[in-house]
Amino acid sequence: MAEPLQLALNNAMSPTMEELIYFHDYAMATSLVIGLSVSITLMVITTTKLYDSALSDANQLEFMWTLLPVLVLVFIATPSMRTLYLLENQESPHLTIKTLGHQWYWSYEYSDLGDKTFDSYMTQELNLENGSPRLLEVDHRMVIPTNSLIRLLVSAEDVLHSWTLPTIGIKTDAIPGRLNQLTFISPRHGVFYGQCSEICGMNHSFMPITMESIPVKHFENWLHTP
């Protein structure tokens, strides 16, 4: 969960989010080096006679300002391709969950293991337990087993929605008539919160997502609980 006056991203709660944070820091460091280099070059050019002497021959200058951006793009694209590959890994999921977006709640279906299906509505403020976050807690959480590769199939029945869990590093649009999918793994026990990140109507901000990661043996008990 975010904290007051927090500047950095939330702590990573999955390998996917760890990769995204690494790439974010990598890209920001590269941008900082580029910004400092350009600023220093401009200061040197405008405060000395370097422009009249060294830069009077434009051929070398044109070669450099063409080559350097290409090298920068390659420098950034290399870790980006690796991150994209890891995000699209679809190999042998342990569990498939289908979620549908509605105005304004989510429904979940565990079709792989029986026919467990339920709707997930935001918990009203009067019904919140002590310590439960306002506007983020729901009456029925999506529950997954820890250390299991989960495949999530996402769609919608009315308008565009977006299923998002920032600390897990996953986000995908829920589009009527289309089935999107993503895979993720949660190596830690805990409760993770998110919200619909698509403006889907007047109650858009009252459409939270709550996922709970529990041990496999507890998950089996929950799965067979009415």
pLDDT tens per residue across span 106-123: 999 998 877 789 999 999
User: What span, in angstroms and rounded, lies between the C-alpha atoms of 94 and 176?
Assistant: 26
How far is 50 from 47, CA to CA, in rounded Å?
8
pLDDT at residue 102 above 60?
yes
Q: What percent of the chain has pLDDT over 90?
A: 32
Which stretches does DSSP call E strand in the chain? Answer: 95-102, 105-110, 116-120, 142-145, 149-156, 161-165, 170-174, 180-185, 190-195, 208-214
The pTM (predicted TM-score) of the whole model is 0.78
Query: Which tens digits make up the pLDDT trace of 209-226?
Result: 999 999 998 998 888 877
Rounded alpha-carbon distances, angstroms, from residue 34 to 41, 131, 152, 186: 11, 45, 39, 36
**Is 80 exceeded by the pLDDT of residue 10?**
no
pLDDT in tens, 81-91: 887 877 776 67
- CA distance between the termini of the chain: 30
The number of C-alpha atoms within 13 Å of 216 and in the hemisphere containing its C-beta is 7
- Give the model's pLDDT for residue 178: 92
